[in-house]
Structure 1
Amino acid sequence: MSDAEKTSDEKASDATGLSRRGLMGLALGAGATGLVVGAGGGLVGGQAYALEQQKAMRDAAAATTGIHQPGITTPVQEHLHFAAYDMMARTTRDDLAELLSDWTYAATRMMQGLEVTATGAVGGSPEAPPDDTGEALGLPASNLTITFGFGPSLFDARFGLEDQRPDGLERLPAFLGDDLDPLRSDGDLCIQACADDPQVAVHAIRNLSRIAFGRATIRWSQLGFGRTSKTTSEQTTPRNLFGFKDGTANILADDTAALDENVWVSASEGPAWLAGGSYLVARRISMLIETWDRTRLAEQDRVIGRDKAKGAPLSGGDEFTAPDFAATGSAGAPAIDPRSHVRRAHPDTNGGIRLLRRGYNFVDGTTDLGRLNAGLFFLSFQKSPQRYITVQKALSTDAMNEYVRHVGSGLWAVPPAPAAGSSVGAGLLGS
């Protein structure tokens, strides 16, 4: 189709890099009752940009950073906005493909520190809702990463994806002590937005949700602060809300052998569209803060299996000394309690399984009883769901269970990064 034959709506789509549905989402998702049209009946804004410039921007938005999506081995940022979505009733496979294309375009721009379209927050018509919400104007990209995942419920007859479901991509089983809220669990799709500025992370989810208007709706979301792990040796080990160092033995980005063994799905371990990807588990874990705060220090150390001050295992050494589970104390008892968190979660207890963790603290105000509604938003990446299930089952006898409750849960397949000129999930949808 020549440029002269295109409708004004199609020209606007070319100019912004989003589909017509994505443009409508930006307008209607902002609370407008309808699109503002110009004298010719087309959407106002964006047409003033040269198509050659927009093609260059579209190509830049399709550029990849490697085989894997960002936000997995990327140095863990300080803030999180996580959201799970459900596709709306009567949406089609084409709707899903179009949404993922729109999300890929906007996400790549935002990760570059740009607005969601070239028109942005202030460059369009004053009579139309802005394409970008604008709260990140003037802010740097803040190491923003945006990671997309596909839940088990996406692989059904709605989109003809039944035969593409990976083995093991099922709703996680019930674990001992679970008290899950269905309104904080699962979802067809998920987006993990991490940044060193909380406003940048919130801006990402806010704008991607607007773009999804009419195609997908947020099922639940979670804000997080204060990383509880590290993915590079340069990062210091953070502390969680129990005051203990967390993520000491996490898999690091430069440990390619450990990543291949524990995190990345190989071509022989899943469907072709998932090769180079991973599986993401999210668990909202409520911490009984007030109970923990009244627990004596020696008991806290015993429950965790580490010294609170140094982070060293109770068998001796420093933070990075490997735990010696055979070591005994002065009374002959194990120096590290067999029910301690360190022992129950350790690879030696779980057939060598290691998880790449990217969790965050959260505080969501107070409960009806006036207690902190706080805890850990646990995030882990692993090459199969069964690996997480094995570790979580081992934690059924964890002494820390007296102080935590798992109240939200979800599992998603995380595809590899899109090829240049393509969108996330293109291998799954054949688009």
Structure 2
Amino acid sequence: MALTRRALLASSGAAAAVAAAAGVGYAAGQEGDDSAPRGDSHIVDFHGEHQAGIATPAQDRLHFAAFDVTDGTTATQLRDLLKEWTAAAATMAGGQPIGTGAAGAQLAPPDDTGEALDLTPANLTVTVGFGPSLFDERFGLAPQKPAALTPLPDLPGDALDRDNSDGDLAVQACANDPQVAFHAVRNLARIGRGLVTVRWSQLGFGRTSTTSRAQATPRNLMGFKDGTANIKLEDAKALADHVWVGSRADEPAWLRGGSYLVARRIRMLIEVWDRAALGDQEKTIGRTKVLGAPIGGTDEFQTLKPKTLPVDSHVRLAHPETNDGIAILRRGYSFTDGLESLGELDAGLFFLAYMRDPKAFIALQNRLGSHDALNEYIKHVGSGLWAVPPGVRPGGFVGDALLRSI
């Protein structure tokens, strides 16, 4: 196959810069058309059985941040911080400023940074997770650590930057306005100053999956429709079977109704992909580029028969039928962060996925890493795993079943 592989020369830095500028312009856009529940208020309820931002219809913008708890922070301070974060997140999701807002005494910082004033809530959701490192000796949480919450093993294709991986706490803020999502993470970081520090963060634009049957299937930066066969919020059985943690004996009671979150920063080798012939692109994915139909088909949503697709195509290898029924809820976003050191575009997929057992992701990634033709065009450069507690009842706080007794 000519002009398709990584060994080809990259395009010029000038061309990459143009692409980067285009991506940044899109990221700064306004609210999307169909990405979340609509109504006069643009509000997604913060409280519920499960945390919002998992099965919620995926919004168009993301600000994700991983935090480390500062040395010397006590268990009581950690609990109180999560209480403050919960109250602030619920307030912001409701479209209200924190505390007294951006006003207040002239000689003190305001309670709210103010950049979301006059904006709608934009369907903001704030989702919080606990990393494996939170369950060390610092807070007495080790006996409550889920057996499945261990750092992800080395996986095929990993080229991880450890400074941009993992973290004690994770905050996923999604909204249909980038400034609203940024405001949420900025204010949680401000509230936590002195107790937590931002380990790394990622902005995302353009959802790369559909989590509701009411949503049109989006396209990723490779130009292909993404998320056609994803788990949908309308499918309660699939969510129960594959996303929500149940009452298994090896799972602690505090996590029931929660989930596990895997985040992967996946850099696409854009310049190489853009030189690939259309036929090679379609064989790599397993779907046609324009329609999103399985190769040989005419409709995006027709029944997919994995064994009729190329043996190394991504769709065939990732399909539950070829993976012992493994399914995960994907909720990723595109990203572009300018140019990397060699002048190539630093852009790709910020992969977010929720599942009831991280072993599902590990098994799937091992299979993809060994056989997937897509690996010639991507590189995994960041990673993390977090346990996501169940939803918050009014008067409670995120992780209260775990932390209220400390």
For the criterion TM > 0.5, the same-fold answer is: yes
Please list, as runs of the form range in 1=range in 2, the aligned pairs for 1:166-245 lying within 5 A after superposition.
Answer: 166-245=146-225
CA distance in 1, matches of 2:306, 2:139: 50
Is contact 2:207–2:218 with CA below 8 Å preserved after alignment?
yes
CA distance in 2, matches of 1:84, 1:298: 39
Q: Deviations over 1:284-309 (max 9, x none)?
A: 00000000000000000000000001
Aligned to 1:247: 227
Percent same amino acid among aligned pairs?
Answer: 58
Q: Deviations over 1:8-67 (max 9, x none)?
A: xxxxxxxxxxxxxxxxxxxxxxxxxxxxxxxxxxxxxxxxxxxxxxxxxxxxxxx96321
Question: Unaligned stretches of 5+ in structure 1?
Answer: 1-62, 328-335
- Work out which of the two has the higher radius of gyration on C-alpha atoms and give 1 or 2: 1
Aligned to 1:429: 403
Q: TM-score, normalised on structure 1?
A: 0.82
1:167 CA drift (Å): 1.1
Q: Residue type matched to 1:283 in 2?
A: R
SS where residue 157 of structure 1 aligns?
coil
Aligned to 1:147: 127
Count of residue pairs brought into register by the alignment: 359
Alignment partner of 1:372 is 2:345: yes
Instruction: Give the RMSD, CA atoms, in angstroms.
Output: 1.1
1:177 CA drift (Å): 1.5
Q: Deviations over 1:61-118 (max 9, x none)?
A: xx9632100000111000000000000001111011011000000000000001121x
CA distance in 1, matches of 2:46, 2:177: 23
Q: Residue type matched to 2:404 in 1?
A: G
Q: Residue type matched to 1:143 in 2?
A: N
Is contact 2:291–2:298 with CA below 8 Å preserved after alignment?
no
1:164 CA drift (Å): 0.4
Aligned counterpart for 1:85 among listed residues 63, 67, 75: 67
1:172 CA drift (Å): 0.3
Is contact 2:287–2:294 with CA below 8 Å preserved after alignment?
yes
SS where residue 197 of structure 2 aligns?
strand
Aligned counterpart for 2:272 among listed residues 282, 291, 298: 291
Alignment partner of 1:393 is 2:373: no
Please list, as runs of the form range in 1=range in 2, the aligned pairs for 1:249-398 lying within 5 A after superposition.
Answer: 249-268=229-248, 270-327=251-308, 336-396=309-369, 397-398=371-372
Is contact 2:129–2:388 with CA below 8 Å preserved after alignment?
yes
Q: Residue type matched to 1:294 in 2?
A: R
CA distance in 2, matches of 1:301, 1:315: 11
Q: 1:357 to 1:325 in 2, by over 3 A?
A: closer
CA distance in 2, matches of 1:326, 1:342: 10
Is contact 1:164–1:271 with CA below 8 Å preserved after alignment?
yes
Q: TM-score, normalised on structure 2?
A: 0.87
Question: Unaligned stretches of 5+ in structure 2?
Answer: 1-44
SS where residue 225 of structure 1 aligns?
strand
CA distance in 2, matches of 1:112, 1:281: 27
CA distance in 2, matches of 1:138, 1:324: 49
Is contact 1:315–1:324 with CA below 8 Å preserved after alignment?
no
Is contact 1:64–1:420 with CA below 8 Å preserved after alignment?
no
Q: 1:64 to 1:178 in 2, by over 3 A?
A: closer
* Runs of 4+ displaced beyond 4 Å: none
CA distance in 1, matches of 2:46, 2:307: 47
1:267 CA drift (Å): 2.0
